[in-house]
């Protein structure tokens, strides 16, 4: 083999070794990049899952919220309507001379409800006019109801009746009051019955002290 | 003019019921044991079964979805002999002299009822001995004639360790004699505000009454006897430690009534004219029996 050929082959070997080293470096780099890419992909998968959950939650909340708000709005509207209706009634009642303390009672008695009748004071005028006769106790100037808050019979104003006492006042010289209804009558069988006595001993003792005990 | 018999009896009933409500003597044990009043007539020395409520975890069976496995009895049954018939009687020769109920009550009925109850209490107190309560070692205090808080705490530990319901204040008692009680009334351990609180301190000073300590009502009793000579006794007990049974005493008298000087302790009061004695005989009787039912619910202590 000629020297030239040997030199050529050595040169070729050196070139191949250099190429091999380059390839190994490139391979190592490629592996590292692949690993990084895989880790990144995994991280992104987790983020996607989290975001998907958050998105679904947000979608649910977004779709549910209007209903809740609607309910709340409806509720508040109802309260406002009720208040306006009652205020209108109160205004009309004042004009008609209804006592302040009777306004709520009359409103409840009217059976009028917001939504079924407009919140307009004029609307209540007919009802209140009728009540002046039917429920005069609710209006100023009714003598029977003054002081006790109770309606007069048949809605008519009546003169105050002076009730006569049904019993004689104490110490009026009519003797000892009749206590017969409060006497404690005890039979001999009761007195000899242990269970009965245990339950009623205090009552018997009290009655005897007060002079109300009768042994039969 | 003499009273009619009915009138006399009514006066007696009035005096007896009134007197029962105002007894004044100290009878701590009569108030601190379990009484089973059986409203029956029973013969003397007859044995009666008394159920003292018991909590036994062993009664609970894990059925595992199977049927119930009932036991014949679920409570402790104690046989107590009706061996005591305490009577107290007297003759009233001229009824007119004491015809008012208050006088009859004050002069005769109340003192006689006190006597009966005192004797009942003394009989119960004699049961409090080291022989009858052998479950725990007698706790000896370190101070003459007064208990320390540690003494009661040790007794508490005994009962709590045995599973006694020591939180049951209504039914937990520490009973000692007047000497030790007075020692406690003079000991800062039991009356000082910083230890027992202002209310307890006030009651102790003003009324000579110790408030609840370690979950027990503190009482004194003249009848409890010492376990050792020259040492003052005491017992921390649950109500169920001692059980008593009472019945309606037998009587054929025409005029009779039953009063209760203490809950579940009936005393028959009967009266009749006796030709032999030439006066009205008034008799009281209390028929009862008592027994140490559950000695593990009592822990004895004594001072130095």
Mean pLDDT of all residues in A112-141:
78
Read off the pLDDT of residues B226-242 as tens digits, 9 standing for 90 and up. 999 999 999 999 999 99
State CA A3 to chain mean position distance. Answer: 108
Greater model confidence, A81 or B37: B37
Pick the most confident of A62-71, A76-85, B253-262: B253-262
Pick the most confident of A165-174, B55-64, B90-99: B55-64
pLDDT of residue B6: 67
Read off the pLDDT of residues A37-66 as tens digits, 9 standing for 90 and up. 999 999 999 999 999 999 999 888 777 766
B-chain residues near A193 (CB < 8 A): 39, 258
How many Cα atoms occupy the beta-carbon half-sphere of B209 within 13 Å? 9
The set of residues, in sequence order, having a beta carbon less than 8 Å from that of B166 and lying 6+ positions away, is B156, B159, B160, B172, B215, B216, B238
Q: Does residue A212 have a pLDDT over 90?
A: no
B78: β partners = B50
Lowest mean pLDDT among A76-80, A140-144, A211-215: A140-144
For B244-295, give the DSSP string: EEEEPPP---SEEEEEEEETTEEEEEEEEEETTTTEEEEEEEEEEEEEE--G
Which chain B residue is nearest to residue A211, measuring alpha carbons? B14
Which chain A residue is nearest to residue B8, measuring alpha carbons? A215
CA distance B250 to chain A (A): 10
Mean pLDDT of all residues in B259-270:
95
Greater model confidence, B75 or A200: A200
Mean pLDDT of all residues in A151-176:
50
* Cβ–Cβ contact B13 with A under 8 A: yes
Closest CA to A186 of A171, A197, A198, A175: A197
Q: Does residue A179 have a pLDDT over 70?
A: no
Closest CA to B12 of B70, B115, B98, B139: B98
Residue B90 pLDDT class (50, 70, 90 cuts): very high
From the list A193, A194, A201, which residue is nearest B17 (CB)? A201
Contact at CB, A197 and B266, closer than 8 angstroms: yes
Round to the nearest angstrom and report the end-to-end CA distance of chain A: 156
Q: How many angstroms separate the CA atoms of B190 and B201, rounded?
A: 8
Residue A216 pLDDT class (50, 70, 90 cuts): confident
Helix (H) or strand (E) holding A74: helix A3-96
State CA A1 to chain mean position distance. Answer: 109
Mean pLDDT of all residues in B48-76:
86
Closest CA to B92 of B164, B32, B18, B2: B2
Share of chain B above pLDDT 90, in %: 79
CA distance B272 to chain A (A): 14
Contact at CB, A192 and B256, closer than 8 angstroms: yes
Contact at CB, A194 and B258, closer than 8 angstroms: yes
Contact at CB, A208 and B14, closer than 8 angstroms: yes
Tokens found for residue B92: 């009233």
pLDDT of residue B31: 95
A-chain residues near B18 (CB < 8 A): 205, 208-209
Size of interface A-B (CB pairs under 8 A): 56
pLDDT of residue A146: 43
Candidates B258, B265, B267, B269, partner chain A, best to mutate (most A CBs within 10 A):
B258
- Strands B172-176, B233-238: pairing is antiparallel
Candidates A203, A205, A213, partner chain B, best to mutate (most B CBs within 10 A):
A205
b/e per residue, B143-173, with b = 16+ CB within 10 A?
Answer: eebbbbeebbebbbebbeeeebbbeeeebbb
- CA distances (Å), origin B130, targets B30, B154, B201, B289, B300: 20, 16, 32, 21, 7
10 Å CB burial of residue A139 (0-12, 13-18, 19+) is buried
* Cβ–Cβ contact B203 with A under 8 A: no
pLDDT of residue B4: 60
Tokens found for residue A167: 């019993």
Q: Does residue B261 have a pLDDT over 60?
A: yes
* Cβ–Cβ contact A202 with B under 8 A: yes
B-chain residues near A204 (CB < 8 A): 13, 17
| Ramachandran class of B238: left when φ > 0, alpha when ψ lies in -120 to 50, beta otherwise | beta
Closest CA to B237 of B291, B177, B166: B166
Contact at CB, A198 and B10, closer than 8 angstroms: no
Residue B156 pLDDT class (50, 70, 90 cuts): very high
A-chain residues near B257 (CB < 8 A): 191-192, 197
Q: Does residue B5 have a pLDDT over 50?
A: yes
The set of residues, in sequence order, having a beta carbon less than 8 Å from that of A171 and lying 6+ positions away, is none
Q: Does residue B194 have a pLDDT over 70?
A: yes
Read off the pLDDT of residues A82-92 as tens digits, 9 standing for 90 and up. 888 888 888 88
Contact at CB, A204 and B13, closer than 8 angstroms: yes
Q: Does residue B54 have a pLDDT over 50?
A: yes
Q: Is A106 helix (H, G, I), strand (E, B) or coil?
A: helix
Greater model confidence, A131 or A163: A131
Residue B56 pLDDT class (50, 70, 90 cuts): confident
CA distance B109 to chain A (A): 14
Q: How many angstroms separate the CA atoms of B288 and B50, rounded?
A: 12
pLDDT of residue A143: 44
Greater model confidence, A104 or A68: A104
Contact at CB, B9 and A192, closer than 8 angstroms: no
CA distance B266 to chain A (A): 7
Mean pLDDT for all residues in chain A: 80
Greater model confidence, A168 or B293: B293
Rounded to 5 degrees, φ, ψ at B290 are -150, 155
In this prediction the pTM is 0.64
Say which residue the tokens 């709520």 belong to: A104
Q: Does residue A195 have a pLDDT over 70?
A: yes
Q: Does residue A4 have a pLDDT over 50?
A: yes
* Cβ–Cβ contact B39 with A under 8 A: yes
From the list A188, A194, A215, which residue is nearest B39 (CB)? A194
Mean pLDDT of all residues in A103-131:
79
Q: Does residue A155 have a pLDDT over 50?
A: no
Contact at CB, B13 and A202, closer than 8 angstroms: no
Count of C-beta atoms within a 10 Å radius of residue B64:
5
pLDDT of residue A169: 55
Say which residue the tokens 């003249």 belong to: B222
Residue A161 pLDDT class (50, 70, 90 cuts): very low
Q: Does residue A156 have a pLDDT over 50?
A: no
Q: Does residue B28 have a pLDDT over 50?
A: yes
Q: Does residue A160 have a pLDDT over 50?
A: no
Q: How many residues does chain A have?
A: 216
Q: Does residue B70 have a pLDDT over 70?
A: yes
The set of residues, in sequence order, having a beta carbon less than 8 Å from that of B71 and lying 6+ positions away, is B59
Q: How many angstroms separate the CA atoms of B266 and B263, rounded?
A: 8
Read off the pLDDT of residues B204-230 as tens digits, 9 standing for 90 and up. 999 999 999 999 999 999 999 999 999
């Amino acid at each position: 083999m000629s020297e030239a050929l040997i030199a050529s082959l050595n040169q070729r070997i050196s070139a191949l070794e250099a190429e091999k080293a380059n390839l190994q470096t490139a391979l190592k780099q490629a592996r590292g990049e692949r690993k990084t890419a895989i880790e990144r992909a995994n991280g992104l998968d987790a983020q996607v899952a989290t975001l998907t959950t958050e998105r679904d939650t947000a979608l649910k909340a977004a779709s549910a919220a209007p209903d809740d708000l609607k309910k709340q709005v409806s509720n508040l509207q109802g309260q406002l309507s009720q208040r306006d209706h009652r205020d209108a009634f109160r205004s009309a009642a004042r004009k008609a001379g209804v006592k302040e303390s009777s306004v709520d009672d009359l409103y409840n008695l009217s059976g009028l409800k917001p939504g079924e009748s407009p919140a307009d004071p004029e609307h209540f005028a007919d009802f209140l006019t009728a009540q002046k006769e039917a429920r005069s106790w609710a209006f100023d100037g009714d003598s029977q109801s003054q002081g006790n808050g109770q309606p007069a019979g048949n809605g008519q104003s009546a003169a105050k009746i002076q009730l006569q006492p049904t019993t004689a006042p104490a110490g009026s010289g009519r003797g000892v009051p009749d206590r017969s209804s409060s006497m404690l009558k005890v039979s001999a069988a009761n007195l000899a019955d242990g269970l009965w006595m245990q339950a009623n001993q205090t009552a018997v003792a009290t009655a005897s002290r007060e002079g109300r005990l009768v042994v039969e | 003019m003499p009273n009619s018999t009915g009138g006399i009896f009514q006066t007696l009933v009035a005096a007896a019921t009134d007197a029962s409500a105002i007894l004044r003597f100290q009878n701590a044990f009569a108030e601190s044991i379990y009484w089973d009043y059986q409203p029956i007539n029973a013969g003397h020395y007859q044995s009666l079964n008394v159920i003292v409520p018991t909590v036994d975890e062993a009664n609970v069976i894990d059925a595992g979805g199977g049927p119930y496995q009932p036991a014949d009895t679920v409570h402790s049954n104690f046989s107590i002999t009706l061996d005591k018939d305490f009577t107290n009687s007297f003759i009233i020769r001229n009824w007119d002299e004491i015809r008012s109920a208050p006088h009859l009550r004050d002069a005769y009925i109340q003192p006689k009822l006190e006597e009966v109850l005192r004797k009942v209490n003394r009989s119960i107190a004699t049961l409090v001995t080291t022989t009858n309560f052998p479950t725990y070692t007698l706790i000896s205090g370190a101070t003459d004639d007064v208990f320390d808080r540690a003494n009661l705490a040790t007794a508490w530990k005994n009962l709590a360790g045995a599973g006694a319901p020591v939180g049951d204040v209504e039914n937990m008692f520490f009973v000692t004699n007047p000497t030790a009680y007075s020692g406690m009334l003079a000991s800062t351990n039991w009356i000082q505000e910083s230890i027992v609180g202002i209310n307890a301190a006030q009651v102790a000073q003003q009324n000579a009454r110790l408030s609840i300590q370690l979950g027990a009502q503190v009482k004194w009793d003249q009848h409890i006897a010492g376990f050792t000579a020259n040492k003052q006794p005491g017992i921390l007990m649950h109500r169920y430690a001692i059980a008593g049974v009472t019945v309606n005493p037998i009587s054929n008298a025409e005029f009779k009534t039953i009063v209760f000087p203490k809950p579940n302790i009936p005393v028959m009061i009967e009266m009749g004219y006796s030709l032999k004695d030439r006066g009205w005989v008034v008799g009281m009787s209390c028929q009862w029996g008592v027994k140490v039912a559950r000695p593990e619910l009592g822990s004895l202590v004594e001072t130095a």
